[in-house]
Structure 1
C-alpha cells in the first residue's frame, strides 16, 4: 500500500493544524517545488449524511477552489492546486502565519482591538473587496473567522466556499434548498435574510458587522437567539459605535453605520468608495475599553422569516465564551472558518528559537529578559501605533525618531530578538529610508533581518521583507552588486515558498529588474521588466498602480537601449493611465509627466518639453518645472512605493 501521507505523489502531509466536522487542514510540503503549504481535505461522508447534503458540500468545496484560484490579490488567500485523491477532495493553499480576527479578539480578553488596528484592517479588507467585486464575485460569508491577520500585518480574506459568481443563480438556489445556511447570523445582510437578490453590497454590510465588532467588542446585534439576531439585522437600527467606545473617530462611525444600512442603495457605492472614506478616519491610537456597553434589544415584533432560518444556531461569534477547542496557538494556519478548530497543544508544540517564556526574547547572554508589566507593554504598543500614524501623515522624520525610540525600549524590556522589537526595527528602517537617511535605514533593516532569521526562519515572509528592504537600502547607497545578490536570494525564496505569481514575488522580480539596470545590464533589465509587467497586468489588471510602475520601468529600459521614440510612447501611456487612476496631481502622475518631458528633451523636441514643464508647474501650484514628482515612492503614500524605486530613467 502506498504512503497515505503523500498526496498525489507530491504533497507530504505533516500534521493536522485544523479540524472540523467535515474536513481537516494539514501543514504540508509541496515536494515538487520545495515549499510549505496548507492542504484542506474534505472527509468522506458518513452514513448519517444524505446524498443532497454531500453533493452540495462537495460543490461548495469545488467552488472555493475555483473562485479563490481566480482571485490574485495580496489580500486574498492564494490557492495553488485542487484535486481528488481516493475519493477525497483536497485544496492546496498558501500556509499563513497569523490569527483570524475572531482569535485576535479572544486573545485580547474580549476587548475591542486598538483603533489604529481597526482602521488598518478595514482599509486592507476594502482593498481586497475592490478586487473581488471587480471580478464579479460576492463572498457572501464575511465574518471575523474568515479574515486573517498575518504576523507581518497583512490582512487576507479566506474561504470562498459559498461565494457567488455574478449571474450564477442556479447554484445559489440549490444551496438554499438543502437547508445549509448561507452565511452566519451575526454577519448576514437583510437581503440575505429575506432571500432577496444579493450583490456586492451584501459583502459591504457583512464587513460593517465585522468592523463594528472589532471596534466595539461585540457584533451589532449580540443576542443569543438566532431568530432575534436576524430580526435585528432586518428591522433594528444598530446602536451608534461611539455610544460604546467614545474614542472612535466620528468619520469611522459614520462609515460603519452607512455600511449597516438596511437597504443596499443606502450603503456606500462600492468597496473603493468605502476605502476612500476609511482612509480619512485614521486616528491616533487610543486605549481599549474595559468592558463593552449594553446592546440594544431586538425589535419587539418578529415578522415571519424564511423557513430555512428555523434550525439555525448562532454559532460562535468572535467575542464570547472561549471554548478549549477554539484556542489557537500562534503559528502557521490555513484560512479556516465556521466549525474549523485548532489542533491540540500536543500536535503543535514546538520550541521557538531564541525565545523565552511567554514570547520574551532571550538576550545574547542566554538570560531571559525580565517580564515587563502589562501596562508598559500596552504603552509601547500605543507609541508604536502613534509612530505608524505619523508615517501615514507623511511626517517621516518624526516617525523615524519615534520608531527608533520604541525599538530601543522594546529591546530593553523584551530582548533584541522579540518579534515586537524586530517589528519596530523594521518600521524605523522604513521611516528612515523615506527621509533619505539610507545608511541608518540599512543598519535597522540588517538588525531586523538577522533577528527574524533567527526567530522566524530564513523563509518566513517577515524575514524576506526585511532582507528585501536591506537590498533596497544597499542599492540606494550605490552598493548595487550586493543589492543584486540579495534580491536574487530573496526572489529564489519567495518563488519557492509563495509561487512565481504571488504579489510579493512579483515585487521582488520588479526590484531585481531595477537592479539589473543599475548594474549596466540593460537588455536583461528590459526583458525582466517586460516579464513582470505582463504578469502584473494579467493578475492585477493593466491599470493597477503596481502594473503601471512596471510599465514605467519598461519605458526606462527602452531609454537605456536608446529606443527613445518607443520610450516616449511608453511613458505617455503610464502618465495618461496614472492621470485616470490616481488623479492628475498625484505625485506618481506628476512624476510620469516629468519622465515624458525629459524624454522629449532627449529627442530634441524642446518646445514640447517646455510646454509640458509649464503645465506641470501649474499642476504643482506653481511649484517649479523639472523636479521629479516623488514617483513610486518619493512622495507616494502606500507601502508599495518602492516598486518603481527611483528607477525611472536615468536619462538626460
Structure 2
C-alpha cells in the first residue's frame, strides 16, 4: 500500500503506524474534512477466485457496516470503508495512545498497578455490555485490540472485523490439525472446539487479558501453540497470586471467574460483570455480604478482601466543560534527552511564586532532597506512580490522586529539575486534582505555574502549554472571574486555530469553553451562536453521537433556555437525552442530567404534569443509583416540589420542599446555595397557604445567609430582601415593608453577579410577583 498515496481521491496516506495479521494501519488525512484519521488496509492472502472475492467483498461491507453502526465511547469509531485497487480499507478515528500490549512492553512486561487494571476492566466491561446488547460478539479480544488513550479512555478496536479474518486468510492454523484459530493465548474453550460462541466467549478473552495485565504473562504460555490451546481447553489456570502475591484476592477471583471452562460458570453478560465490579469494590465493611445482596453465583466467593481496594468502580462521570488534554508524551514517561536538572527562571508574578512550595514541592529539607537525588527511583517506577495517580483520579479518589501526584512532582523536581516536562506534567495533574476537590484558587495558581513553565520550556503555542492555559480559563470561570476566563479562552483559541486548524478537536473544545464563558457574561446570543457552530462542527468531525458533540448540544439547549426559547430548548434537551440513553445508558449521570433539563423546560412551558412525571422518575433513578441524600437526588426532588406548587398542590409542595431543605442542610451545609433555594421554596408554599409569619422567618433567614455569603449588593440578596418586604406587607407591617423596599432600591448594582445555574434553569421558580 506504500505506493498508493491517495485512496479514493480523499484519504492521503502519511505514515505507517502499524502492521499485523490484518494488514497495515496508516495515519492519514481526510482531505474532504481536513482531519487526521487511521486507515486500516486489509488485503486477502493467496490466490482467490472471482466468486470468492465477490462474496468476500459483500461480507466485508456487512461487517464494516456493523462496526460503523457502533456508537459508544469505549468502541473505536469507524468513519468509512470501501475497496481501492484490490485493497479493502477501513477509515477509523485516529487514537492518541497505546494498546495494552504496548503498555505492558513499555512497562518491561511487569504487571500494571491494581487501580489501573480495575479501571481498564470497568471500561472494557461497559463497552462489551453495549456491543453485546447489539448482538455483536468481538471474537478476537486481546491486548493489541484494546487501546488506552492518553486521556485515560479505553477503546476496543476491530469490532465486526474479527469474524472477517478467517475468511480473508489472516487466521493461523495449527500444523496438521486444520483447526482455525484467532490468537491462541486469548481464545475461549468453545472457540477452540470450533463450536458456537456468544458474548461469554468475549468475557473469557477479557479474563485472559486481565490475567496478563495483573501478572505480566498470559494464563497459558507454554510457547507451543498446541499446548496453549490444550491449556485453555483442559487445564485450570494458575491463580494469579502465584505470580504476584500482593494481588488482592477479589481481583484474582474476578479473573478466575471469567476463565471458567464452561460458559455457564462465567458472568452471563458484561453488564453483570460491570455491575458487580461497581458494587463490590466501593463497599465498606459494614454493608451486607454479597450473598445477602443477591450477587451471582460466580461472584459469591469475592466477599473477602474488598476493603483493600475500596473505591473501585466505573470511574467518575465525564467533565463536560474542561480540557482533558493530558501532559505530553506517553502517560508520564520521560519525554526528552535531558542531561541534568533543568530549572525555571524566577517567576515575577507574586501570585504564582507560592505554588512551588505550597502545591508542588512541599519537601523543603535540603538534606532529604540530596538523599532523594542520590537514591532516585528508576524512570519506570516514576511512570508507574504517575499512572497510579491517574487511575485513582479516574476512580474519583481525588484526595489520594492529589497526594500521589504531589509527591511525584516534588521528586521529579529534585531529580529532573522544575522545568522538565515530566515535572510539569505531575504539577498539571496536581492542579487537576485540586480543581476536582473544589480548591479552585489553589488550582488556578498551580495551572499558572505549569503554563509559565511550559511556555518557557516548550513555547507559547505548544499543545501542552495551551492545555494548561485552557484549564486556567476553566478554574477562573469556577471562581466567578468570567471576564478573565473569556480573555484566556480567546487567546488560546487564536493559537489553536493558527497551529491546529479550526476543526481540530482541541480547537473545538476551546470554542465550546468560550461559548460557556460568553453565557456566564450574559452575552446569550453570542453564546448560542458559538455553541451551535461548535456542535455542528463536532458532529461533522467526531460524529453525531460522540460524547463531545452531545455536550455542546446540551450547551446549545441551555443557551436557548436562557434566551427564553423554551420550546426549542425542550426539543434540544430531549434529543441529547435520547442520544445519551443509546450510547451510555438510560441511568448514566449524563443522561439523567439531560432529562433533568427536559423537566425544567416542561415546567417553564407550563406543562407541569409532564414535568412532575419527569422529576418523579428522575428522583427514583437517582435514589437507586446514589441514595436518597445524594445532591442530584435532592435536585430532582426539588424540581418535583416546584411543579407541585405550580399545579396548586401546596400542601404536598410544602412537605416536599421542607424535607429536601432539611436533607440539603445536613448534606451540603446551612449556607449552601441549594439549601437556601429549598428554604425559599418552603417559604413560598407557606405564603400560599396563608402562613405568612412562618414564611417571614424563612425569607429573612435566606436573605441574611445570602447577604453573608454573596454580599449586600448581589442580585440574589436583593431578591431575598424583596421577598422579605413582600411578606411584611402581607402581614400588614406596611411601614417596615416600605423601608426595606427603599433600602434595596437604593443599593446600586455596579456589576450584576452571575446567577446560579439552578436559578437560571428554573430551580428558584418564578419571582414573588408571579408566585405569591
The equivalent residue for 1:192 is 191
Relative to 1, partners in 2 of residues 1:520 and 1:360: Cα closer, same or farther, differing over 3 Å? farther
Relative to 1, partners in 2 of residues 1:218 and 1:59: Cα closer, same or farther, differing over 3 Å? farther
The equivalent residue for 1:289 is none
CA deviation string 1:185-210 (max 9, x = no partner): 11111111122331111111100000
CA deviation string 1:471-493 (max 9, x = no partner): 54343223446667846614748
Relative to 1, partners in 2 of residues 1:599 and 1:476: Cα closer, same or farther, differing over 3 Å? farther
The equivalent residue for 2:430 is 428
The equivalent residue for 2:321 is none
The equivalent residue for 2:107 is 108
The equivalent residue for 1:536 is 580
The equivalent residue for 1:121 is 120
Relative to 1, partners in 2 of residues 1:135 and 1:240: Cα closer, same or farther, differing over 3 Å? same
For 1:548 and 1:116, how far apart are their aligned partners in 2?
27
1:172-571 matched pairs, under 5 angstroms: 181-279=180-278, 280-281=280-281, 356-357=336-337, 375=377, 377=379, 380-381=382-383, 384=386, 387=389, 396-397=398-399, 399-400=401-402, 402-414=404-416, 420-445=422-447, 470=472, 472-480=474-482, 486=489, 489-490=511-512, 492=534, 498-511=542-555, 513-514=557-558, 528-559=572-603, 566-571=610-615
CA deviation string 1:94-138 (max 9, x = no partner): 111111111111111121122222122111111111111111111
* 1:357 CA displacement: 1.4
* Deviates further, 270-279 or 118-127: 270-279
For 1:607 and 1:576, how far apart are their aligned partners in 2?
21
For the aligned residues, what is the CA RMSD?
Answer: 4.8
Whether the 8 Å CA contact 1:613–1:625 is kept in 2: the answer is no
Whether the 8 Å CA contact 1:595–1:648 is kept in 2: the answer is no
1:37-52 matched pairs, under 5 angstroms: 37-43=37-43, 45=44, 48=47
Whether the 8 Å CA contact 2:107–2:380 is kept in 1: the answer is no
Whether the 8 Å CA contact 1:111–1:217 is kept in 2: the answer is yes
Stretches of structure 1 that go unaligned for 5 or more consecutive residues are 284-329, 333-353, 366-370, 631-643
Whether the 8 Å CA contact 1:410–1:420 is kept in 2: the answer is yes
* 1:537 CA displacement: 3.9
Whether the 8 Å CA contact 1:121–1:155 is kept in 2: the answer is yes
For 1:528 and 1:451, how far apart are their aligned partners in 2?
42
* 1:252 CA displacement: 0.4
* 1:544 CA displacement: 3.8
* 1:400 CA displacement: 3.8
* 1:509 CA displacement: 4.0
1:139-150 matched pairs, under 5 angstroms: 139-150=138-149
Structure number with the higher helix fraction is 2
CA deviation string 1:391-416 (max 9, x = no partner): 57866456445534433543554466
For 1:393 and 1:27, how far apart are their aligned partners in 2?
32
* Deviates further, 116-125 or 586-595: 586-595
For 2:268 and 2:674, how far apart are their aligned partners in 1?
31
* Deviates further, 104-113 or 383-392: 383-392
For 1:449 and 1:422, how far apart are their aligned partners in 2?
9
For 2:64 and 2:467, how far apart are their aligned partners in 1?
28
1:651 aligns with 2:758: no
Whether the 8 Å CA contact 1:484–1:515 is kept in 2: the answer is no
Relative to 1, partners in 2 of residues 1:237 and 1:465: Cα closer, same or farther, differing over 3 Å? farther
* 1:41 CA displacement: 2.0
User: What is the TM-score when the length of structure 2 is the normalising length?
Assistant: 0.61
Whether the 8 Å CA contact 1:137–1:164 is kept in 2: the answer is no
Relative to 1, partners in 2 of residues 1:469 and 1:535: Cα closer, same or farther, differing over 3 Å? farther
For 1:617 and 1:127, how far apart are their aligned partners in 2?
36
For 1:457 and 1:535, how far apart are their aligned partners in 2?
38
User: What is the TM-score when the length of structure 1 is the normalising length?
Assistant: 0.71
Whether the 8 Å CA contact 1:192–1:198 is kept in 2: the answer is yes
Relative to 1, partners in 2 of residues 1:66 and 1:580: Cα closer, same or farther, differing over 3 Å? farther
Which structure has more RCO (C-alpha within 8 Å, separation ≥ 6)?
Answer: 1
Stretches of structure 2 that go unaligned for 5 or more consecutive residues are 284-327, 346-372, 490-508, 514-533, 676-755, 766-772
Whether the 8 Å CA contact 1:126–1:272 is kept in 2: the answer is yes
For 2:222 and 2:459, how far apart are their aligned partners in 1?
41
* Deviates further, 441-450 or 255-264: 441-450
1:131 aligns with 2:130: yes
Whether the 8 Å CA contact 1:529–1:553 is kept in 2: the answer is yes
Matched residue count? 560
CA deviation string 1:562-621 (max 9, x = no partner): 765554443334334445666666654443223322443455533223444577699999
The equivalent residue for 1:303 is none
* 1:459 CA displacement: 10
The equivalent residue for 1:300 is none
* 1:56 CA displacement: 7.2
Whether the 8 Å CA contact 1:372–1:414 is kept in 2: the answer is no
Relative to 1, partners in 2 of residues 1:229 and 1:30: Cα closer, same or farther, differing over 3 Å? same
